[in-house]
A and B are shown apart, each in its own frame.
Chain A
Amino acid sequence: MSELETRLLDRGQSAAAAPKTELPSHKWTMLIDLDKCTGCNACVVACHVENNVPIRSEREVIRGHGQHWIRIERYWEGEGDTQRATFLPMLCQQCSNAPCEPVCPVYASVHSERENLNLQVYNRCVGTRFCGNNCPYRARSFNWFAPQFEGPITEMLNPDVTVRSGGVMEKCTFCVQRIRRSEEDALVEGRPLREGDVTPACAQTCPTSAIVFGDRSYPESQVARRLGGQREFQVLEHLGTAPNVYYLKAGGSDGGAG
């Protein structure tokens, strides 16, 4: 029997033997250190590949139909010749108090209390785009046209993620398919999720490790340890959306948080 076959059998046995337990709750949090973001767009491309986000054509981009789950917003600060650009990676903030949720008439935008995530149910979305309007971060993108993947490009679509049709709203999910896989693996193996088990595509590829992800309810996690510093802020905090993406201001040190 091959090694793989043995492992598969073991899984089945342990799943049958172990009592079905509820999945534990998490507070998935993303931390983006703006001191390290270089605007390289690796996260953008990685997200496109992982989540089957279509690349829109030139015509569509001109008309404002560019579709990205994470984008690098480039602002200018300062005046005149001393103006310097600054990068802000913007993605769905997975708000605990998400304004996109109550406005959806068909429950396509719902909250997962257990995981503290905002979930988008593609097959329920009817495309009223109320959620997109109400997102102050404009993190949601709409499939204005059905996506087109030309020729063999369909081969690289990730089977873990739905390919959305036209007329449906979508957004960053914190790579929930990866969360789900890791949770299932952990459940089958009868162990809790470990720090580092779950990494979204953007965090995994970010060369400078500006994007860090984890469960802040676990006090030893990277994100928990780095939260609470002087540099920490959230975008549009005053709106009370309670985002789960924290940013660290550029230019200062964490004072030892590493």
Chain B
Amino acid sequence: MAEQAKFDSPVWNRPLPEDAELAAQVREVREKHLLQDARPPREVAEKVLGPMARLGRVFWLAFVVLGGLTATWLVTWAYQASQGMGVTGLNRTIMWAPYIINFVYFIGIGHAGTFISAALRVLKFDWRAPISRAAESLTVFALLVALTMPLIHMGRVWKFYWMIPFPNQRQLWPDPRSPIFWDMTAIFTYLSCSVLFMYLGMLPDLAIAREKASGWRKRLYTALALGWRGTEREWKNLDTTLNIFSYGIIPVMFSVHTVVAWDFAMTLQPGWNSSIFGPYFVIGALYSGVGAVIIIMAILRKALHLEYFLRQEHFNAMGKFLLVLSFTWVYFYFNDYLIPWYHKEPILTVLFRLFSSGWAAPFWYTMLFANIVVPWATLWSRKVRSSIPALVGVAVLVQVGMYIERYLIVAVALGYPELPFNWSVYVPRLPEILITVGVFGFVALGVTVLSRLVPIIPIWEVVEGQLLHGTRRIGRAIFPAKTEAD
């Protein structure tokens, strides 16, 4: 009532109701929800920008370690490129394993960023506001890594540019029938869209940072902010642009992992040749991606003291999302395996036996435990979802489970072609282990450094959200309410 009438006073200054009980309810709502807990924009900005420059010991330690891992990756890659692919554990039957697993995995976790930024934006899930940029940054670095993976696994990587269509004297073009060509097209599109989307969404924040920074940072942000002044026209354009991107990037996102799935589904390899792979991979990607975002959120919250922004409500929402994805993933997994199990296709029966009671059983059961048993047993509980350590634990398990899932599909199934003489088991050797660990380090390094260079929480979205959110009294109860503004 009284507070609803005073809509010309700043949102962060709305007084509490006089009634003690109502006031307590309002306080509770504000505590729980970021977008209800309005603060002056300067303060919000300071909460984000402040920690960026304070590089403590932990940061430098992380930088060194992750930088070391990244260097390991690059050095090992150089070694492998000079010696030949024979230094890996690949063999004449299993010609794809470690790098393709990484390829699928990293594209997979990249999907969560886009989904959270774009799809949730379209669906108007406002709790995504503080998460979106961190998720997008994960996407960008994951995609970068994923892009290098096909290069790392090439026999003659120095000729990689032959896969890119460019006019040449010999009139040689790449083959558009090849799923690798579709991969390239899809991933390049996805990467460029994601980067643009993230960058454009960052413009207002870069402008804010420009105002508050000094020294080299000021120069950096001035350059990056592209002269953003915050005029109404600029905001309107930004809104339109982000809408277009949001709507547009969703089909791109779906197509990318579908196309990656078709690297497998279009082949004759038993275990790969399944028409459900398209949607199955997309859901798997989202599943692992959301888990990865949860982990990133938890780490950034700790490292940059973002407790104000990343609250239980966000983890709770992500936890629910994770559970829903787990159900969906199980649905597709079940579909993929039910049919061949039913009609007892011989070579797939061999694979199933391997999974259920053969040498691959430990992996398979770990995957089922991590992807199904643990999430289903825990994520229904609000307590678990709200406890950041617990949720992160589940998310880590999901990463493990999904990595194993890719390993089982790529490396294990590939070892079982129809002619048993050629069956084989893939055993990773040091180069691919170092490269795999190294790229994880690179992704972490990328997000870490980026979070210190650009505002990792979208300040303007938070402020905008806080402007639009308030409380409403119905009867004796206070409810959070949102103003719809298009």
Contact = CB atoms under 8 A, between A and B. Distances in A.
A126 B163 contact: yes
A103 B150 CA distance: 14
Given A105-B175, A105-B180, A166 B155 contact: yes
B84 interface: yes
Nearest to A74: B421
A117 to B, nearest CB: 18
Nearest to A107: B175
5 contacts: A65-B86, A105-B163, A105-B174, A128-B154, A128-B155
Contact of B92 (A66, A75, A104, A241): A66
Nearest to B424: A64
Interface in B171-192: 172-175, 177-181, 184
Contact of A133 (B150, B154, B172, B269): B269
B86 A63 contact: yes
A67 B91 CA distance: 10
Interface stretch (A16-24, A134-142, A244-252): A134-142
Interface string B144-167: 000000100111110110110000
A141 B422 CA distance: 12
A58 to B, nearest CB: 14
A136 B423 CA distance: 11
B266 A103 contact: yes
A132 interface: yes
B267 A75 contact: no
Given A65-B92, A127-B155, A138 B419 contact: yes
B9 interface: no
Interface in A137-184: 137-138, 141-146, 165-169
Of residues A128, A141, A145, which shows the largest number of chain B Cβ atoms within 10 Å of its Cβ?
Answer: A128
A225 interface: no
B51 interface: no
Interface residues of A, number: 46
B418 interface: yes
A127 B268 contact: no
A239 B268 CA distance: 8
Nearest to B161: A126
Contacts of A90: 419, 421
B85 A60 contact: no
Contacts of A137: 417, 419
Contacts of B90: 64, 144
A124 B92 CA distance: 20
Contact of A126 (B84, B154, B184): B154
Contacts of B157: 126-127, 167
A106 B155 contact: no
Contact of A128 (B150, B266, B418): B150
Interface in A61-118: 63-67, 73-75, 88, 90, 99, 102-107
A146 B268 CA distance: 29
A109 to B, nearest CB: 9
Interface residues of B, number: 45
Contacts of A65: 86, 91-92
Nearest to A138: B422
A15 interface: no
Q: Would you call the interface of chain B mostly helix, strand, loop, or mixed?
A: loop
A233 B106 CA distance: 44
A87 to B, nearest CB: 11
Nearest to A121: B172
Given A66-B92, A167-B155, A236 B179 contact: no
B95 interface: yes
B25 interface: no
A73 B89 CA distance: 23
A127 B419 contact: no
Given A126-B160, A128-B154, A134 B267 contact: yes
B89 A63 contact: yes
Closest 9 CB pairs of A and B: A127-B155, A64-B91, A167-B155, A144-B86, A129-B95, A105-B180, A73-B421, A167-B156, A102-B177
A36 B283 CA distance: 53
Given A104-B175, A107-B175, A136 B155 contact: no
A145 B84 contact: yes
A107 B172 contact: yes
Given A128-B180, A167-B85, A133 B155 contact: no
Contacts of B267: 99, 103, 133-134
A130 interface: yes
B243 interface: no
Contacts of A104: 175, 178
Contact of A236 (B173, B414, B418): B418
Given A63-B91, A128-B180, A142 B269 contact: no
B77 interface: no
A125 to B, nearest CB: 7
Interface in B88-114: 89-96
Contacts of A239: 268, 418
B419 A103 contact: no
B231 interface: no
B174 A107 contact: yes
B168 interface: no
B96 A129 contact: yes
Interface in B289-346: none
